[in-house]
């Protein structure tokens, strides 16, 4: 019994007409596979519910938040099952507690721990198509939990894992993963195959096709993911392990961010452990420091330190640093008009000179690099936000992605 998991995002089930369309897609798989469907809430529903909770209170209780928002998937899943049944297809909606999908951890940010397969397997065996509510779970005390926004992707991956599915197809409103944001560069191309590792870098760097956590879950469990559109009938992007990929390109994709801020501390009194003294309180306040550069102090007494954070953390960061009695510095300066541009590709591991080619391509366009950070499969540079499109364009050409 070959099992396939199909996951439909909010826009894919955003209206009764869309649900009708999705039912047809599900049907087309049911000839070849035993199909398990996961659905998000209809687009707009979750935000509407969250807004109501905010009107009640800014500190709306997490426990009730989970009960509230999970009503969204209850609506979409019962409508979708009802649609399939109306077509004469055996189907049934399943809320997380009915399966159950057990979670652990805090409300709003729970993690799926265990999925009881018994009832769903029985239903699959008699030819049924289960429609499972994404995003939600239940804890051991029968409280409704949710697994964070975009959590339906994680639900789908975990269902694919527990049911040993051959593939997990993520249906969304984009056709797949692109070499770079098509809104920024016309010549962006759909990627046929991408490794989990590259996709992780693409996702966490701002290509919002899938949540990083769900890609990480898929990587750990070796689940093949196909990302494709429920609006047009076209092949999507396959996210799989590196060795499944035959690719002659060094760089797979280019991503950019648009909510970074640069903080520079000038004249920091230099002593061992000074960086830790600066970053520890930020970390304790859930502020994520991304790129860091420390200039070598010429006299060994003072140094300049530059780092980037998310721009929405800027005010909090300023306050924490100004109140930090363990450090002393002359001046703190900020820049919100910066962006991080990254080239990503497993190919760079075995190819020398990628860094050089990147810097040269940017230099040719007079783009100044402010901070650099690298990993095994990624090189990121911080540049002026105004230069982002120009930078992407030149890198896209430099690394043969236009073709």
Site of interaction with a copy of itself (CB under 8 A) = 16, 19-20, 49, 52-53, 55-57, 59-61, 63-65, 67-68, 70-72, 74-75, 77-79, 81-83, 85-86, 92-93, 95, 97-98, 142-144
Here the tokens at position 80 are 């979708």
User: Are 159 and 147 a contacting pair, CB within 8 Å?
Assistant: no
- Closer CB to a copy of itself, 87 or 326, in the complex: 87
Give min distance, CB of 53 to a copy of itself, in A: 6
Place of tokens 């409103």: 173
Give min distance, CB of 151 to a copy of itself, in A: 18
Give min distance, CB of 158 to a copy of itself, in A: 21
- Closer CB to a copy of itself, 67 or 297, in the complex: 67
Give min distance, CB of 247 to a copy of itself, in A: 43
- For helices 354-364 and 388-398, the axis angle rounded to 10 degrees is 130
Helices and strands (DSSP H and E) totals, the chain = 12, 19
Q: Which helix (H) or strand (E) holds 374?
A: strand 371-375
Closest CA to 262 of 306, 327, 328, 322: 306
Place of tokens 């879950």: 217
- Closer CB to a copy of itself, 98 or 229, in the complex: 98
Tally the C-alpha atoms within 13 A of residue 309's C-alpha that lie toward its C-beta. 20
Give min distance, CB of 143 to a copy of itself, in A: 8
Helix (H/G/I), strand (E/B), else coil: 149: coil
User: Are 33 and 197 a contacting pair, CB within 8 Å?
Assistant: no
- Closer CB to a copy of itself, 68 or 388, in the complex: 68
- Closer CB to a copy of itself, 22 or 210, in the complex: 22
- Closer CB to a copy of itself, 72 or 137, in the complex: 72
Give min distance, CB of 71 to a copy of itself, in A: 4
Phi, psi of 7 (to 5 degrees): -115, 130
- Closer CB to a copy of itself, 64 or 166, in the complex: 64
Give min distance, CB of 128 to a copy of itself, in A: 12
User: Are 167 and 224 a contacting pair, CB within 8 Å?
Assistant: yes
284: Cβ contacts below 8 Å, ≥ 6 apart: none
- Closer CB to a copy of itself, 13 or 185, in the complex: 13
- Closer CB to a copy of itself, 71 or 266, in the complex: 71
Cα–Cα distance measured from residue 192 to residue 190, given in angstroms and rounded to the nearest whole number: 6
Tally the C-alpha atoms within 13 A of residue 398's C-alpha that lie toward its C-beta. 23
User: Are 73 and 133 a contacting pair, CB within 8 Å?
Assistant: yes
- Closer CB to a copy of itself, 74 or 355, in the complex: 74
* Residue 246, CA distances (Å) to 131, 192, 199, 268 in order: 35, 10, 16, 49
Give min distance, CB of 16 to a copy of itself, in A: 4
Give min distance, CB of 109 to a copy of itself, in A: 18
First to last CA, the chain: 40
Cα–Cα distance measured from residue 310 to residue 315, given in angstroms and rounded to the nearest whole number: 10
Give min distance, CB of 209 to a copy of itself, in A: 28
Residues in the chain: 403
- Closer CB to a copy of itself, 64 or 335, in the complex: 64
Give min distance, CB of 61 to a copy of itself, in A: 4
Long-range contacts of 202-206 (CB under 8 A, 24+ apart): 202/177, 202/252, 202/253, 202/255, 202/344, 205/255, 205/256, 205/257, 205/340, 205/342, 205/344, 205/378, 205/380, 206/181, 206/255, 206/256, 206/257, 206/258
């Amino acid at each position: 019994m070959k099992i396939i998991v199909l996951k439909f995002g909010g826009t894919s089930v955003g209206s009764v007409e869309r649900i009708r369309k999705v039912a047809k897609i599900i049907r087309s798989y049911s000839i070849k596979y035993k199909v398990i469907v996961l659905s998000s809430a209809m687009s707009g529903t979750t935000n509407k519910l969250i807004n109501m909770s905010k009107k009640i209170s800014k500190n709306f209780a997490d426990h009730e938040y989970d009960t509230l928002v999970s009503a969204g998937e209850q609506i979409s899943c019962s409508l979708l099952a009802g649609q399939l049944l109306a077509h004469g297809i055996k189907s049934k909606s399943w809320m997380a507690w009915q399966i159950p999908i057990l979670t652990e951890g805090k409300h709003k940010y729970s993690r799926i721990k265990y999925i009881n397969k018994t009832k769903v397997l029985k239903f699959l065996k008699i030819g049924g198509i289960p429609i499972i509510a994404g995003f939600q779970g239940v804890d051991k005390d029968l409280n409704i939990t949710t697994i964070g926004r975009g959590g339906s992707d994680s639900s789908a991956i975990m269902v694919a894992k527990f049911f040993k599915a051959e593939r997990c197809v993520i249906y969304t409103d984009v056709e797949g993963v692109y070499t770079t944001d098509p809104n920024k560069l016309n010549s962006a191309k759909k990627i046929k195959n991408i490794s989990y590792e590259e996709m992780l870098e693409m996702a966490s760097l701002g290509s919002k096709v899938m949540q990083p956590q769900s890609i990480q879950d898929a990587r750990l469990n070796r689940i093949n993911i196909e990302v494709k559109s429920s609006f047009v009938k076209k092949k999507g992007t396959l996210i799989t392990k590196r060795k499944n990929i035959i690719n002659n390109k060094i760089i797979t994709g280019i991503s950019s961010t648009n909510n970074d801020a640069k903080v520079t501390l000038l004249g920091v009194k230099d002593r061992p452990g000074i960086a830790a003294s600066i970053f520890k309180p930020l970390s304790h306040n859930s502020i994520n420091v991304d790129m860091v550069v420390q200039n070598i102090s010429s006299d060994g007494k003072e140094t300049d330190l530059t780092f980037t954070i998310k721009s929405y953390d800027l005010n909090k960061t300023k306050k924490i640093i100004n109140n930090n009695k363990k450090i002393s510095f002359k001046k703190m300066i900020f820049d919100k008009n910066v962006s991080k541009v990254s080239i990503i590709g497993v190919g760079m591991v075995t190819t020398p000179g990628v860094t050089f080619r990147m810097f040269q391509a940017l230099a040719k366009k007079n783009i100044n690099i402010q901070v650099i950070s690298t990993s095994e499969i990624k090189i990121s540079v911080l540049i002026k936000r105004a230069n982002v499109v120009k930078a992407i364009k030149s890198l896209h050409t430099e690394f043969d992605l236009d073709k």
